[in-house]
Amino acid sequence: MANLDLTLDHTGVAVRNLDEAEAAYKRLGFTLTTRSIHSGSVTPGAPVTPWGSGNYCAMFREGYLEIIGITDPSLYSSTGDLLDKYEGQHIVAFGSGDADVAYEALSQRIDGVSPAAALERMADFGPDNSESKLAQFRNIYVDRTAMPEAKIIFIEHITPDVIWQPHLLDHLNGAVKLAEIALCVPDKANTCARLNKILGREPKDLNPDFSAYEMERGRVYVLSEKGLASWAPGVTPPALPYAAGFGVEVTDLTATKYFLESNSVTYHDHPYPAIWVGPEFTHGPVVSFIQS
């Protein structure tokens, strides 16, 4: 069975109000792109058509954050299904290189993997947004019946230069890398058994309630409800399974703390050199800031 070099490419937070979410994430110190509207193939091989969803992105030197919401309820969008479950983090996307090669490998590992589908959106380009260029991707989706823990995507970037623009990579909170995502699940052993297959690797069991998968870049945590309670005390899952949070590495954690304090954002300490901000500031996920 073919091995795949996998990176933690991006994570996505589905929100009910894009304007409010834009303000919230700027308050956390993220530099966001201008709003972009999606187009894509509804099914693999179908024509690319306009969708009724849009996003803002926070681009890091490694990986990125997507904030996605409904922009036109009359058009197709998969975002509504996410919001029906809960407002918050849903998308976990792995960079997997050539989509056709990745699909061949993934389809042998687990059922419910769809062939690569085209996705694109127009993106403002340049430090003054004076141009507009087409950002193109090929996405492999995993059916939620096979992996209900998140909307899992394997992605090939066709035009990385369009979205990783130099002027977007500096953030007031010091973020430089999407480092981790956390999944809270009702049966950790069951989730890990399926993740072992699709990721082609096994986790390190840090304790009975907390396992960690190391990617070629980034990591994925799998937590029980008890594990979530110890990692982010007081956070209650809106549903299970639950994409509980994501973490970004920052250049200077002390400076990040000062920035959050100046914006009246309450943070809490993790047991490792990191802090976290709760759902009341993030539209759902636990957002961690980790000393690089």
Tokens of 179: 């480092």
Question: Domain end: 168, 186, 217, which one?
Answer: 168
Does the pLDDT of residue 45 top 80, yes or no?
Answer: no
* 44 and 163, same domain (yes or no): yes
Mean pLDDT of 13-40: 95
Domain count, the chain: 2
In this structure, is residue 2 part of a structural domain?
A: no
* 88 and 183, same domain (yes or no): no
| pLDDT bucket at 56, cuts 50 / 70 / 90 | very high
* 26 and 68, same domain (yes or no): yes
CATH number at residue 27: 3.10.180.10
In this structure, is residue 209 part of a structural domain?
A: yes
Does the pLDDT of residue 259 top 60, yes or no?
Answer: yes
Return the pLDDT at 278: 98
Asked if 38 contacts 142 with a C-beta cutoff of 8 angstroms, the reply is no
| pLDDT bucket at 137, cuts 50 / 70 / 90 | very high
| pLDDT bucket at 119, cuts 50 / 70 / 90 | confident
| pLDDT bucket at 2, cuts 50 / 70 / 90 | low
Question: Domain end: 168, 189, 211, which one?
Answer: 168
In this structure, is residue 287 part of a structural domain?
A: yes
In this structure, is residue 118 part of a structural domain?
A: yes
**Residues spanned by the domain of 100:** 7-168
* 75 and 209, same domain (yes or no): no
Between 40-49, 88-97, 116-125, 147-156, the lowest mean confidence (pLDDT) is in 40-49
* 151 and 186, same domain (yes or no): no
* 202 and 276, same domain (yes or no): yes
* 141 and 261, same domain (yes or no): no
Return the pLDDT at 41: 78
* 52 and 131, same domain (yes or no): yes
Dihedral of the alpha carbons of 44, 50, 55, 60, in degrees to the nearest 10:
50
Amino acid at the residue 186: P
Question: Domain end: 108, 133, 168, which one?
Answer: 168
In this structure, is residue 207 part of a structural domain?
A: yes
Tokens of 42: 């509804």
DSSP 49: E
In this structure, is residue 237 part of a structural domain?
A: yes
* 74 and 179, same domain (yes or no): no
| pLDDT bucket at 145, cuts 50 / 70 / 90 | very high
In this structure, is residue 43 part of a structural domain?
A: yes
Q: Is 119 helix (H, G, I), strand (E, B) or coil?
A: strand
Most distant CA atoms of the chain, gap in Å: 52
Per-residue b or e along 185-201, where b marks 16 or more CB atoms closer than 10 Å to that residue's CB: beebeebbebbebbbbe
d(CA 287, CA 225): 17
Does the pLDDT of residue 46 top 60, yes or no?
Answer: yes
* 156 and 74, same domain (yes or no): yes
In this structure, is residue 1 part of a structural domain?
A: no
Does the pLDDT of residue 29 top 80, yes or no?
Answer: yes
* 29 and 134, same domain (yes or no): yes
Does the pLDDT of residue 1 top 50, yes or no?
Answer: no
pLDDT in tens, 221-240: 999 999 999 999 999 999 99
| Percent of the chain topping pLDDT 90 | 88
Rounded to two decimals, the pTM is 0.94
* 71 and 121, same domain (yes or no): yes
